[in-house]
Structure 1
Amino acid sequence: MLIVPEREIADLMTREAAFDAVEKVFAAMASGDAYNFPVVREAIGHEDALYGFKGGFDRAGLTLGLKAGGYWPNNLDKRGIINHQSTVFLFDPDTGMVKAMVGGNLLTALRTAAASSVSIRHLARKDARVIGMIGAGHQARFQLRAALEQRDFEKVIGWNFHPEMLPNLQEVAEAAGLPFEAVELDGMREADVIVSITSSFDAILGADQVSPGTHVACMGTDTKGKKEVDPQLLVRADVFTDEVAQSVSIGEAQHAVGRGLISEADVAQLGAVINGSHAGRSSDDQITLFDGTGVGLQDLAVAAAVVDLAVERGIAIEVDF
Structure 2
Amino acid sequence: MLIVPEKEIANLMTRAAAFDAVKGVFASMSAKTAYNFPVIREAIGHADALYGFKSGFDKAALNLGLKSGGYWPGNAEKGLTNHQSTIFLFDADTGKCRAIVGGNLLTALRTAAAAAVSVDCLARQESEVLGIVGAGHQAAFQLRAVAEQRDFKRVVAWNRSPEKLDTLRSVAEELGLGFEAVSLDELGAQSDVIVTITSSFDPILQQGQIRAGTHVACMGTDTKGKQEIAAALSGDARLFTDEIAQSVTIGEFQHPVAEGLVDQDRINELGAVINGTTAGRASDEEITIFDGTGVGLQDLAVASAVVELAVGQGVAQDVEF
Counterparts of 2:258 and 2:304, CA distance in 1? 36
- Kept in 2, the 8 Å contact 1:137–1:168? The answer is no
Counterparts of 2:56 and 2:186, CA distance in 1? 40
| Offset from partner CA, 1:17-36 (integer Å, 9 cap, x none) | 00000000000000001000
The code of the aligned residue for 2:3 comes to I
| Offset from partner CA, 1:32-90 (integer Å, 9 cap, x none) | 0100000000000000000000000001101000000000000011x111100000000
- Kept in 2, the 8 Å contact 1:200–1:228? The answer is yes
Q: How does 1:144-159 map to 2 (within 5 A)?
A: 144-159=143-158
Give the secondary structure class of the aligned counterpart of 2:64: strand
Q: How does 1:231-270 map to 2 (within 5 A)?
A: 231-270=231-270
How far did 1:207 drift? Answer: 1.5
The alignment of Structure 1 onto Structure 2 pairs a total of residues equal to 320
Q: How does 1:1-321 map to 2 (within 5 A)?
A: 1-77=1-77, 79-188=78-187, 189-321=189-321
- Kept in 2, the 8 Å contact 1:71–1:85? The answer is yes
Q: Which runs of 5+ in 1 are unaligned?
A: none
How far did 1:180 drift? Answer: 0.3
Counterparts of 1:98 and 1:80, CA distance in 2? 31
How far did 1:96 drift? Answer: 0.5
| Offset from partner CA, 1:227-258 (integer Å, 9 cap, x none) | 00000111111010000000000000000000
Sequence identity percentage: 66
The code of the aligned residue for 1:152 comes to D
Counterparts of 1:239 and 1:5, CA distance in 2? 37
How far did 1:307 drift? Answer: 0.2
- Kept in 2, the 8 Å contact 1:19–1:111? The answer is yes
How far did 1:168 drift? Answer: 1.4
How far did 1:262 drift? Answer: 0.3
Instruction: Please tell me the root mean square deviation across aligned C-alpha atoms, in Å.
Output: 0.4
Counterparts of 1:236 and 1:171, CA distance in 2? 34
Q: TM-score, normalised by structure 2?
A: 0.99
Give the secondary structure class of the aligned counterpart of 2:208: helix
Counterparts of 2:222 and 2:177, CA distance in 1? 31
Counterparts of 1:103 and 1:268, CA distance in 2? 32
